Amino acid sequence: MTPHIPNGAEHEVVVTGIGLVAGELTDPEALFDHIAEGRTLITEHPRHKEWGVPCAVSAHIDPQVRQALTDAAPEEAGPLGPAGVLAWHAAAQAWQRSGLPRRLDTERGGVFLACNRMVMEPAELTALAAHVDHEAGALDLDGYLERLDDPAAPAADGADGGLDPRRHERIQPDSATAALADYFGAAGVLETHADACAAGGMAIGSAYRYIRSGALDVALAGGAESLTTLTSVTAFYGVGALAPADGRDPAQISRPFDKDRSGFVIGDGAAFLVLESRAHAEARGARVLAAVAGYAGVTEAVKMTSSSRDGSDYAQCMRAALGDAGLAPEDIDHVNAHGTSTEANDTCEAAALHTVFGARAARLPVTGNKSAMGHSLANSGAAEAVLSVLSLQRQTLLPTLNFTEPDEVTRGLDIVTERRPARVTAVLSNSFGFGGQNCSLILAEAG
């Protein structure tokens, strides 16, 4: 069934460019091939053991790759922190591939970036603590900032021997959004999404709605995350979300839907899509890669770290996306699952898939990309959307690594475990975040 444009919508939304950075890979096709061959991005983090955390593995950006990307970012790209550098590379790649001019210079373009708030690292917390008056319960923020600007101040344990006086500007996600909008001349609508693990999908979904309504012609939408840091790793481990390494091979730790799953593996990365109205893309002769056919963002607040175990909240989100696309469950050929490898999330998502697709769930191929690329939080939905576009392009399904045996809830799903050629016309891509922020995207052949 061909997706329809819902009542009141003026434009079909298509994808004309994709870009990505993950691990040591700096383009989407390289990542697709990497996973298709059954290989992982998850390795031992160079500093996790030093930090003494039990989950000493991650899908981090290779340090040499990160430095190369940092060096490649032009000055006019503006202040870019660790996540912003990744965002700039993926966004610039997607933009160049779309064939759009270097600068759009129109208010009918927008930037939609997903990136969760950065947290302070130990050196910064130590420096800040020196300016806290515990008796008065006050912080001398001016004194702290003056210290950062003082070249004679004692060095802290930063990467360059000191603290970056502009770090607090660089690490704000809003700064990266504004920098990208200015660089590409697309400042008609600017949005920064921090909807936890659903943020990447929600950024794409919001851009899709602006274009579908006719308010924008072009949008740069995606996510970037750089959270394989001591503070973030410690926090996620503290709430029981991260899988302990326990001496296991890093490649085997992330196990979506498997009965032996024990938590997610954190990752870094960035991914972007260029979205356009079909009319705008065709008018300039652009190559159309896929269509964004439907989207739903649903918020619930069952529990901070999990949703209803019967899958009803996730099912509601999937059904809303199908309704938005004008599709029935039988029109979906593939599910790119959120699949974090946590007990709670996989249980909820598996139950929801059984609810929405019924008996057909046993014949509907499901892939969990996080088995190979870890969970890059705000970026994960964007990265999985990019991989879904390539599944549509290549008519190929990616494997879920490490799935060997289901449990009672995940039993009855068709979990893809090897690269699989398949006829794919529509993909349902799920992202379900902490705090009950749920998102489902439907990507389809452009027709």
Catalytic residues: 197, 338, 375
Supply the DSSP symbol for 397. Answer: E
Burial of 137 (0-12, 13-18, 19+ CB in 10 A): exposed
DSSP per position, 34-81 = HHHTT----EE-TTHHHHT-S--EEBPPPHHHHHHHHHHS-GGG----
| Cβ atoms 383, 360 nearer than 8 A | no
Distance CA 319, CA 442 (A): 11
CA distance 41 to 67: 18
Beta bridge partners, 179, equal: none
Q: With contact defined as beta carbons under 8 Å apart, do 265 and 41 qualify? A: no
Instruction: Give the chain's length.
Output: 447
Do 337 and 367 contact (CB within 8 A), yes or no? yes
Q: How is residue 341 written in tokens?
A: 């490898």
What residue type is 263 in one-letter code? G
Burial of 47 (0-12, 13-18, 19+ CB in 10 A): middle
Query: What spatial distance separates the first Cα and last Cα of the chain, rounded to whole Å?
Result: 11
- In 241-337, where does DSSP find H-type helix? 278-283, 312-325
CA 72, 77, 80, 86 torsion: positive or negative? negative
- How far apart CA 124 and CA 120 sit, in angstroms, is 6
Note whether 438 and 352 are within 8 A (CB): no
Contacts with 259 (C-beta within 8 Å, 6 or more apart), sequence order:
405, 406, 407, 410
β-bridge mates for residue 294, sequence order: 442
